Structure 1
Amino acid sequence: MPDKQGTTGWLQQAAYLQKSGVRTAVLERRHLLGGSAVTEEIVPGFKFSRASYLLSLLRPQISTELELQRHGLRVYARDPYSFTPLLEDGQARRSLLLGHDMADTQRQIAQFSSKDAQILDLWFESEPLKATLATDAVIGAMASPHTPGSGYVLLHHVMGELEGRKGAWGYVAGGMGGVSQAIASAAAAHGADIFTEKPVARVLLGPRGEAQGVVLQDGTEVKSKLVLSNASAQLTFLQLVPQGQLPDEFLQRVAQFDTRSPVTKINVAVDRLPSFVAAPNAGDGRPLPHHQCSIHLNCEDTHLHRAFQEASSGEPSTRPMIELCIPSALDPTLAPPGCHVVSLFTQYTPYALAGGRPWDEQEQNAYADRVFDWVEAYAPGFKASVIGRDILTPPALEKIFGLPGGNIFHGAMSLDQLYFARPVPSYSGYRSPIPGLYLCGSGAHPGGGVMGAPGRNAASVALKDFKHV
């Protein structure tokens, strides 16, 4: 019986447990299933993937085993997939467009470097290509491109696949909530009971210190033989488990788990497509190939490092890194005719502001205005097209979605917090020091993203233990 406060790992494990004959109940804290993978109509008529916004990492065997396509999962593949306009001398006339056609990609890169176009070379020299790659090396991480280990974050973002194409990312039809709904449908088809608006207050322990269920915030006790928590390690062990039940050394390590996050997500409703100076819109208003891409702004290496330094000192970046996506370019059901939804995934913004300033409405709007000013520099007219916006700073991501520190991975994906060290050494994987209590979310191996691997793996471990309960 999972407690859900993060991404979709809990839904996978619920489906697998129920499919194996273990009666399973799902308790969702919010009114929507899916944690960070949800679709919400924030502005009337506009459907946003409010937190997570792209799909690639979901393990193919999960889609096959749970028959997710039969349960409604559809994904729009993107080709081309990356668009990087360059702001040079105040103008954004040149750009780099990358897709799955090798020859086209080489021609694009050769605009800036014939050497880099020979892609087997180890090092790159052209700023546009380095900027494009650097984005995925730092996104979601409080790190500079110069930080040792940032290469793993890049690897993590390209280890997925879509429709058999390695490293591809796509938009889920109807928004990211479509992933959660398909998995929930699979779980329900096998008999799982799913409840929303059931926040968990604490884990219920038996006389030998074993997990025997949970107590809801309204005082209701829900008994079970196993408890699987998709909440972060910090929330699970520091708040949900009663004090005095865990070793001090273990608690200290959990408390020291790095959850720093530089991410702010801004969801925007616009009345027309952004038109970039480097690739102006056609007169008919239809999306062009680059509109379906991840669009990288302010990603040149020197700017990224300076932005990281600013955030490290407690100040929002004066020139934030921006990844802009327009899922309605491929999925017109997300917005009214002629309108679009725009996802702005930005860094670097600190969780705690310098001088103890709160992330109040004034600070949030000031930061969003700064982001919009930079988008305007690449795509004049963007600000005038805005109908409404939803600003999610790191504290807001923590409060709404249960992401510790606002960290989209439930904790930094640094080399000291991966594999056997996630969430802490000697308790990596899924079992916890509390018998019958398991982690099934992004705080467990192999880490963050809508991949389902922690949930599937945790279910496998729990099923083995269940035979001996």
Structure 2
Amino acid sequence: MYCNSMSYFVKYHWISRRTYSKIPRQLKLKYDAVIIGGGHNGLVAAAYLQRAGVNAVVLERRHVIGGAAVTEEIIPGFKFSRASYLLSLLRPQIYNDLELKKHGLKVYFRNPHSFTPILEDNKGQRPRSLVLGTDTAENQRQIAQFSEKDAKAFPEYEEFMNRLVDAIDPLLDAAPVDVASITQGSLSQRLKSLQTLRPLVKAGRTLGSQLPKYYEVLTAPISKILDQWFESEPLKCTLATDAVIGAMSCPDTPGSGYVLLHHVMGELEGRKGAWGYAEGGMGMVSNAIAKSAMAAGAEIYTEMPVEQVLVDSSGKARGVVLQDGTEIQSRMVLSNATPHHTFLKLTPKEQLPVDFIKRISQFDAKSPVTKINVAVDRLPNFVSLPNKADGKPLPHHQCSIHLNSESMHLLNEAFDDACRGEPSSRPMIELSIPSSLDPTIAPPGCHAISLFTQYTPYHLRDGQQWNEEEKNRYADTVFDWIEKYAPGFKSSVIGRDILTPPDLERVFGLSGGNIFHGSMSLDQLYFARPIATFSNYRSPIKGLYLCGSGAHPGGGVMGAPGRNAALVAVQDLKRAVF
């Protein structure tokens, strides 16, 4: 099917480049709350603040809202989810509270979920592949190609992991335990703060006598856990990709099990574990949240970069200074920027404790990710599951397509390359084709492809820089590998957009290029996110809160940090603690 991409051009959804509103507003000089950054968490925070009667304004430095959850037309006629690209982790309460369907969010559900083609010489036969979805019997049939034993064990494994998900899930919707209040507050404060222990106690009850086994899942290398359950490498590696995606770690890294868990805790419209594509791209998720916030009365402005947080002589946040020198006064400030950017660039250092600055500086934000967005004039044609004559999408085109995922040692080797400062010679590739379900993002017959690849270090070996030559060399390596699985892919390419870790930092403000605002390692979760003494969204500056993915419960398009931070800020406002 032929695609004439240049005959289609869809403009951005923006009504004005200065304000996201049907009726242009004038930025005021005083609000109850200023939110720095219009990423999805900042927008969620604005919505909840406004619903609580706190007059809120969102100030976004770019021309488009959404942060990493954004839709951009990089190549004429193709709308890309330029950074984040899948929806599942958005908290159900936020989905319902903010009435996102009413505000235009439409989701295309994916089933099956994953497709792992295998590069192999199968004695003259077509190479095998592993396709997993919601049908248990079909999953077992697929797995049995590689191991009958694993096919029998798989339903029990899923039940085991789902129990852990059920235990941890409630922890995502509340601030971590307030250790300081429990140990240092007045007697009444201590008693009240003990209520924050309830989610932890409930989690322990859910896990019951199997708590030691689940503790091992959270702390051990995911390779150890998967080896206990399965013997077939394609199955183990397919599952292991969720344990390392976005993380500068490998299956042999201790604690990688939690990252896997983080990616299987999703739910969409009541469907547990469901993943989907937002119609129009991930920017439409952010747009729906923004519309909900504005319907409540919040204001949202683009091209309004914040230069500094205003702190008065008593050490309280009193607003922000824009890049053009304009001062916006407020009773509180919530930052959707990363911990590094919030506290090392936006906040006056003389107002922060030296130890706090040191610990924020040590917050790990290393990233292995290079995102490549590709426009093609036809669907990839995989050797293991060939296309039909009509060239229309098949079920496996809907999936997360895992390439170079035949065995876990391939992921370990790719990780080792990056640890030496070299882009992986055989990178892990997660290929998604959202246009296989969503016809609005590419011209007829054409497709928009998302390549989430790793491992690529932020700093290259021997002082080399990520210049255009290095970026294209790595992208060529990625395309060469895709060609092995789907011959003809390279000749189908119309254009590509390459975002290395430094590019992700420059374009989206992701420190280190880290999609989670910081590593999701065990030493940077719950009590310790971003640092152990400030894990409850508050900061050493009274009235300054962290509402982005650098706060609990972390990254992904969840919205939980934004909602939780807003609720904590409203609580403080009612108690008049600043």
Q: Taking structure 1 as the reference length, what is the TM-score of the superposition? A: 0.98
Partner of 2:128: 94
Aligned with residue 105 of structure 1, among 130, 139, 143: 139
- 1:11 equivalent in alignment to 2:118: no
**Partner-residue secondary structure (3-state), 2:334:** strand
Q: Distance in 2 between matches of 1:164 and 1:344?
A: 28
- 1:280 equivalent in alignment to 2:280: no
Structure index of larger Rg: 2
Query: Could you list the runs of 5+ residues in structure 1 that have no partner in the other structure?
Result: none
Aligned residue type for 2:514? N
- 1:350 equivalent in alignment to 2:457: yes
Give the CA deviation at 1:429. 2.1
Could you tell me whether the CA contact under 8 Å between 2:34 and 2:319 is conserved in 1?
A: no
Give the CA deviation at 1:7. 3.8
Counting only pairs closer than 5 Å after superposition, residues 16-415 of structure 1 correspond to structure 2 as 16-89=48-121, 93-118=127-152, 119=154, 120=156, 122-299=228-405, 300-415=407-522
Could you tell me whether the CA contact under 8 Å between 1:3 and 1:231 is conserved in 2?
A: no
Aligned residue type for 1:197? E
Could you tell me whether the CA contact under 8 Å between 1:292 and 1:325 is conserved in 2?
A: yes
Range moving further from structure 2, 25-34 or 119-128: 119-128
Give the CA deviation at 1:6. 7.5
Partner of 1:460: 567
Aligned residue type for 2:87? L
Aligned residue type for 1:378? Y
Instruction: From the superposition, tell whether residues 5 and 364 of structure 1 become closer, same or farther in structure 2 (CA, over 3 Å).
Output: farther
Q: Distance in 2 between matches of 1:6 and 1:308?
A: 33
Q: Distance in 2 between matches of 1:409 and 1:377?
A: 31
**Partner-residue secondary structure (3-state), 1:14:** helix
Q: Distance in 1 between matches of 2:360 and 2:310?
A: 20
Give the CA deviation at 1:163. 2.4
Aligned residue type for 2:319? G
Q: Distance in 2 between matches of 1:224 and 1:178?
A: 29
Aligned residue type for 1:37? A
Q: Distance in 1 between matches of 2:66 and 2:560?
A: 15
Q: Distance in 2 between matches of 1:353 and 1:378?
A: 28
Q: Distance in 2 between matches of 1:280 and 1:5?
A: 44
Deviations 1:181-226 (A, max 9, x none): 0000000001111100111100011120100000011111010000
**Partner-residue secondary structure (3-state), 2:498:** strand
Q: Distance in 1 between matches of 2:428 and 2:464?
A: 22
Q: Distance in 2 between matches of 1:3 and 1:202?
A: 12
Instruction: From the superposition, tell whether residues 131 and 69 of structure 1 become closer, same or farther in structure 2 (CA, over 3 Å).
Output: same
Deviations 1:309-334 (A, max 9, x none): 01011000000000000000000111
Could you tell me whether the CA contact under 8 Å between 2:98 and 2:292 is conserved in 1?
A: yes
Q: Taking structure 2 as the reference length, what is the TM-score of the superposition? A: 0.80
Could you tell me whether the CA contact under 8 Å between 1:7 and 1:450 is conserved in 2?
A: no
Q: Distance in 2 between matches of 1:218 and 1:465?
A: 31
**Partner-residue secondary structure (3-state), 1:131:** helix
Q: Distance in 1 between matches of 2:489 and 2:326?
A: 49
Give the CA deviation at 1:89. 4.2
Aligned with residue 434 of structure 1, among 541, 544, 547: 541
Deviations 1:74-133 (A, max 9, x none): 111101110000112499711000010111111111111001111226511111101110
**Partner-residue secondary structure (3-state), 1:97:** strand
Aligned residue type for 1:36? A
Could you tell me whether the CA contact under 8 Å between 1:141 and 1:413 is conserved in 2?
A: yes
Aligned residue type for 1:46? F
Q: Distance in 1 between matches of 2:476 and 2:41?
A: 35
Q: Distance in 1 between matches of 2:109 and 2:389?
A: 25
Give the CA deviation at 1:2. 4.4
Partner of 2:25: none
Could you tell me whether the CA contact under 8 Å between 1:329 and 1:340 is conserved in 2?
A: yes
Range moving further from structure 2, 427-436 or 89-98: 89-98
Greater share of residues in helix? 2
Deviations 1:235-276 (A, max 9, x none): 111111112111111111100001010000000000000000
**Partner-residue secondary structure (3-state), 1:226:** strand
RMSD, aligned CA: 1.2
Could you tell me whether the CA contact under 8 Å between 1:2 and 1:230 is conserved in 2?
A: no
Aligned residue type for 1:396? D
Q: Distance in 2 between matches of 1:86 and 1:99?
A: 18
Instruction: From the superposition, tell whether residues 273 and 70 of structure 1 become closer, same or farther in structure 2 (CA, over 3 Å).
Output: same
List, as ranges, runs of 4+ consecutive aligned residues in structure 1 with deviation greater than 6 Å: none
Deviations 1:281-314 (A, max 9, x none): 0001110000000000012211110110010110
Q: Distance in 2 between matches of 1:152 and 1:339?
A: 37
Q: Distance in 2 between matches of 1:19 and 1:254?
A: 32
Aligned residue type for 2:423? P
Could you tell me whether the CA contact under 8 Å between 2:35 and 2:46 is conserved in 1?
A: no
Equivalent pairs, count: 469
**Partner-residue secondary structure (3-state), 1:295:** strand
User: Identity rate of aligned residues, in percent?
Assistant: 70
